[in-house]
């Protein structure tokens, strides 16, 4: 159910009164800068036209009630406090509680709200449906309680908040969900968080295709994710121990500011064991690709954009070990189908790829992926859920109804 009139009717039928506001919180695709946000390194995601739509009405007590029109997610209701008991692991309501608890800890006693929501962001597909949910649940509390905050502060707070579900996530998803602007990707820098628009030129189309394998942020993918964050920290420690003139160098950003990528890869190769050496090489080379991608986008150079995507995929597959055979197959099919390049996007181990092509090639690319990937798997029903041209979209909005 995405039609606003229907959603308003559902709200009024459930709560006996019409909703006051609508929140729209987008999903995202990451163009470049994968698995480096939690190392404090800059990334370049883009908000997409798929989003969570949430209608709400303030309450005067500390209760939050959220009904979801998606059948697999039943209604959740809880009291706001600085210590909210989580639902069982994997429950969708934990993203709501994550936002609520973080805001209650930061701002004290809060009034709640009644809501009805829906989402057309495919779940567990690497398009950040869960961060969109977290942001969508936070906005009514900000509005109802007139909290003194801004987008940057909120993005930082909600990035930490999501650790409530047990993932040691970085801050990319919440930042782009809140800070994106239409027609542009978003460069996100960390420590402290900063956001700036990076326009996507008309000559570049972005196609998203799902591998049809779910990557549950609260399931198996979480263990891999948390392991990688640990490996990155260990690799950093070992490299720092071997850096001469260490003064002021204590993080990935300060390391990269002092040495170029090739020097660091060489250093990593000398001081790290096999796995850590490869993880470190991914981090360092991916950071360099973010800078290259900005230049390529600014120049509207679709061929270079494609090369960068291909290199990133190879690095995520071979060094970071977060690809799957389906994601590899999809990226190969995309390139064979006319994309200038493609790579897995999001945390990996399932989810989607992102491909770049000239706009006039998008239709042929989609046809080619349909024939090569989805038809053989009898997965052409609701194909636009899995395969679509992503439009660079604006960040979260809150409007009166
Ligand atoms: C998930 C996390 C992000 C980021 C990506 C990988 O989406 O939520 O913070 O680390 O994985 O780039």
Contact 276, 238 (CB under 8 A): yes
Helices (H), 45-119: 93-107
Q: From start to end of 236-347, where are the E strands?
A: 341-345
Dist CA 128 CA 215 (whole Å): 11
- Measure 346 CA to ligand 1 centroid, in angstroms: 6
Cβ neighbours of residue 198 closer than 8 Å, sequence gap 6 or more: 44, 184, 185, 186, 187, 294, 297, 298
- Measure 159 CA to ligand 1 centroid, in angstroms: 10
* Catalytic residue of the set 37, 91, 150, 173: 173
Is 260 noted as a catalytic residue in this protein? no
Domain 4-200 of CATH type 3.30.230.10: yes
Dist CA 206 CA 183 (whole Å): 12
The backbone torsions φ and ψ at residue 7, rounded to the nearest 5 degrees and listed phi first, read -65, -40
Give, for ligand 1, the residue of 46, 164, 169 to mutate: max count of ligand atoms closer than 8 Å to Cβ.
Answer: 169
At 218 the pLDDT is: 62
Highest mean pLDDT among 38-47, 117-126, 214-223, 240-249: 38-47
- Measure 259 CA to ligand 1 centroid, in angstroms: 25
Hey, which residues does 77 pair with through a beta bridge? 65
Measured from the CB, is residue 35 less than 6 Å from ligand 1?
Answer: yes
Give, for ligand 1, the residue of 37, 171, 226 to mutate: max count of ligand atoms closer than 8 Å to Cβ.
Answer: 37
Measured from the CB, is residue 170 less than 6 Å from ligand 1?
Answer: yes
The yes-or-no verdict on residue 329 having pLDDT over 70 is yes
* Cα atoms in the Cβ-side hemisphere of radius 13 Å centred on 367: 6
Closest atom of ligand 1 relative to the 167 alpha carbon: 8
* Residue 281 binned pLDDT confidence (cut-offs 50, 70, 90): very high
Measured from the CB, is residue 122 less than 6 Å from ligand 1?
Answer: no
Measured from the CB, is residue 34 less than 6 Å from ligand 1?
Answer: yes
DSSP H or E stretch at residue 186? strand 184-189
| Burial category of 131 from C-beta neighbours within 10 Å (exposed 0-12, middle 13-18, buried 19 and up) | buried
Measured from the CB, is residue 173 less than 6 Å from ligand 1?
Answer: yes
Closest atom of ligand 1 relative to the 159 alpha carbon: 9
Considering only CA atoms, which of 145, 165, 213 is closest in space to residue 353?
Answer: 213
Mean pLDDT, rounded, of the chain: 95
Measured from the CB, is residue 169 less than 6 Å from ligand 1?
Answer: yes
pLDDT tens digits, one per residue of 254-276: 999 999 999 999 999 999 999 99
At 146 the pLDDT is: 97
The yes-or-no verdict on residue 148 having pLDDT over 60 is yes
Measured from the CB, is residue 320 less than 6 Å from ligand 1?
Answer: no
CA angle 328, 313, 217 (to 5 degrees): 80
- Measure 61 CA to ligand 1 centroid, in angstroms: 35
- Its sign, for the CA torsion 64, 172, 313, 318, is negative
Closest atom of ligand 1 relative to the 43 alpha carbon: 12
Query: What are the residue ranges spanned by the domains of the chain?
Result: 4-200
- Measure 131 CA to ligand 1 centroid, in angstroms: 10
Measured from the CB, is residue 268 less than 6 Å from ligand 1?
Answer: no
Looking at the chain, the whole-number percentage of residues with pLDDT higher than 90 is 91
- Measure 106 CA to ligand 1 centroid, in angstroms: 24
- Measure 169 CA to ligand 1 centroid, in angstroms: 6
* Residue 176 binned pLDDT confidence (cut-offs 50, 70, 90): very high
Measured from the CB, is residue 348 less than 6 Å from ligand 1?
Answer: no
Measured from the CB, is residue 38 less than 6 Å from ligand 1?
Answer: yes
How far is residue 88 from each of residues 91, 94, 164, measured CA to CA in Å? 6, 8, 12
* Residue 213 binned pLDDT confidence (cut-offs 50, 70, 90): very high
* Residue 217 binned pLDDT confidence (cut-offs 50, 70, 90): low
């Amino acid at each position: 159910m995405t039609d606003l009139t229907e959603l308003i009717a559902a709200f009024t039928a459930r709560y006996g009164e019409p909703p006051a506001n609508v929140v729209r919180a987008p999903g995202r695709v990451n163009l470049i800068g994968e698995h480096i946000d939690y190392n404090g390194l800059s990334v370049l995601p883009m908000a997409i036209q798929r989003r969570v739509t949430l209608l709400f009405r303030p309450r005067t007590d500390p209760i939050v009630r959220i009904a979801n029109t998606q059948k697999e997610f039943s209604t959740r209701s809880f009291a706001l406090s600085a210590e909210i008991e989580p639902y069982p692991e994997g429950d969708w309501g934990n993203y709501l509680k994550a936002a609520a608890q973080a805001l209650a800890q930061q701002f004290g006693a809060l009034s709640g709200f009644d809501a009805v929501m829906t989402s057309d962001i495919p779940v567990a597909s690497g398009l950040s449906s869960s961060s969109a949910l977290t942001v969508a649940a936070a906005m009514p509390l900000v509005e109802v309680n007139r909290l003194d905050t801004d987008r940057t502060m909120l993005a930082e707070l909600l990035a930490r908040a999501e650790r409530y579900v047990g993932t040691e996530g970085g801050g990319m998803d919440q930042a782009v969900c809140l800070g994106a602007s239409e027609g542009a990707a978003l460069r996100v820098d960390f420590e402290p968080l900063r956001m700036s628009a990076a326009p996507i030129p008309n000559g570049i189309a972005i196609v998203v295709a799902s591998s049809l394998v779910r990557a549950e942020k609260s399931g198996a993918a979480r263990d891999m994710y948390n392991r990688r964050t640990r490996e990155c920290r260990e690799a950093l420690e070992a490299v720092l121990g071997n850096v001469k003139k260490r003064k002021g160098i204590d993080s990935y950003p300060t390391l990269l500011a002092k040495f170029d990528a090739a020097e660091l890869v060489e250093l990593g190769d000398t001081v790290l064991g096999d796995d850590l050496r490869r993880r470190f090489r991914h981090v360092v080379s991916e950071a360099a690709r973010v800078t290259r991608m900005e230049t390529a986008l600014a120049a509207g150079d679709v061929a270079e954009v494609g090369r960068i995507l291909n290199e990133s995929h190879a690095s995520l597959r071979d060094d970071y070990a977060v690809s799957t055979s389906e994601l590899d197959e999809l990226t190969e099919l995309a390139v064979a189908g006319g994309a200038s390049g493609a790579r897995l996007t999001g945390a990996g181990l399932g989810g989607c790829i992102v491909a770049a092509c000239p706009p006039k090639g998008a239709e042929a690319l989609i046809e080619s992926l349909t024939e090569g990937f989805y038809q053989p798997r009898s997965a052409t029903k609701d194909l636009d859920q899995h395969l679509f041209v992503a439009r660079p979209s604006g960040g979260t909005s809150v409007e009166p109804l």
